[in-house]
Structure 1
Amino acid sequence: MIDKLAALAYFAGWRIVRVLPHKWAYGLFEKLAKYLVKRDGKGVARLRSNLSRIKPGLSEADMDALLRQAMSSYLRYWCDTFRIQDWSASQIQESVTLTRGELLLDPMREGRGVVIALPHSGNWDHAGAYFCSLGIPLVTVAERLKPEALFQRFLRYRQAMGFEVLAIDSRSFATLIKRALEKRLIALVADRDLSASGIDVNFFGFPARMPAGPALLAIKTGIPLVVAHVSYTQNGIHIEFTSVDVSEDGSESERVAQMTQRMASLFEKGIAAHPQDWHMLQRIWTDGDFKENS
Structure 2
Amino acid sequence: MANAMAWVARHPHAIPERIVRGAFLAGADIAWLAHVGSVRQLERNLEHVLAWSSDDDVDARTLRRRARRLSRRGMRSYFTYFSEALTVGASDRDRLLARIRGSGDGLDSLVALTSPDGGASSAPIAMGHQGNWDYDGFWAQFDVAPVTTVAERLADPDMLDVFVSIRERLGMRILLTGTPHLTERLEEALGEPHVLVPLLADRDLSRHGEFVEAFGSTIRVARGPATLAYDTGLPLYVVNTYRERLSGERRRAAGTPYGYVCEVSGPVDIDEYRGLGREEAIRAISQAWVDVWARGIAAHPEDWHMLQPIFLEDLDLSRLKDVPASLFASARADG
- TM-score, normalised by the number of residues in structure 1: 0.91
1:106-138 deviation line (CA, Å, top 9, x unaligned): 111031001111111101001101113458321
How much has 1:210 moved relative to structure 2?
A: 0.9
Question: Which structure: larger Rg?
Answer: 2
* Residue 303 (structure 2) pairs with residue 277 (structure 1): yes
Work out whether 1:62 is the aligned partner of 2:71.
no
Q: How much has 1:213 moved relative to structure 2? A: 1.2
Aligned equivalent of 2:282: 256
1:162 and 2:168 matched: no
| Alpha-carbon distance change, 60 to 175 in structure 1, aligned in 2, over 3 angstroms | closer
**1:116 matched residue in structure 2:** 125
Which of 95, 100, 108 in structure 2 is aligned with 1:102? Answer: 108
Residue by residue, what CA displacement relative to the aligned partner does 1:37-74 show, whole Å, maximum 9, x if unpaired?
01221211111111111112345443222011111111
Q: Which residue of 1 aligns with 2:44?
A: 49
1:199 matched residue in structure 2:
210
Distance 1:185 1:60 in 2: 39
Local SS of the residue matching 1:193: coil
Q: Distance in 2 between matches of 1:81 and 1:163?
A: 14
Pairs within 5 Å for 1:1-294: 7-14=2-9, 18-56=13-51, 57=58, 58-100=62-104, 101-109=107-115, 110=118, 111-134=120-143, 136-169=145-178, 170-183=180-193, 184-193=195-204, 195-234=206-245, 235-243=258-266, 244-246=268-270, 247-286=273-312, 288-292=313-317
Aligned letter for 2:133?
W
Percent of residue pairs identical: 28
RMSD: 2.0
Equivalent-residue separation in structure 1 for 2:240 and 2:311 (angstroms): 20
SS of the counterpart of 1:233?
Answer: strand
> Does the aligned pair in 2 maintain the 1:113–1:181 contact within 8 Å?
yes
- Which residues of structure 1 form unaligned runs of 5+? 1-5
The number of residues matched between the two structures is 288
CA contact (8 A) 2:190 2:196 kept: yes
Residue identity matched to 1:266: V
Give, as a single letter, the amino acid of the residue that structure 1 aligns with 2:20. A
Shift of 1:90: 1.7
Contact 1:218 1:224 in 2 (8 A): yes
CA contact (8 A) 1:18 1:82 kept: no
Looking at structure 2, the residues matched to 207 and 116 of structure 1 have their Cα atoms a distance apart, in angstroms, of 21
Contact 2:85/2:166 (<8 A) preserved: no
Amino acid aligned to 1:70: G
* Compared CA separation, residues 223 and 10, structure 1 to 2 (3 A): same
Q: For structure 2, which runs of at least 5 residues remain unmatched after alignment?
A: 52-57, 246-257, 320-335
Contact 1:137 1:185 in 2 (8 A): yes
State the 1:194 CA deviation.
Answer: 6.0
Asked if the contact 1:99–1:241 (Cα under 8 Å) also holds between the matched residues in 2, the reply is yes
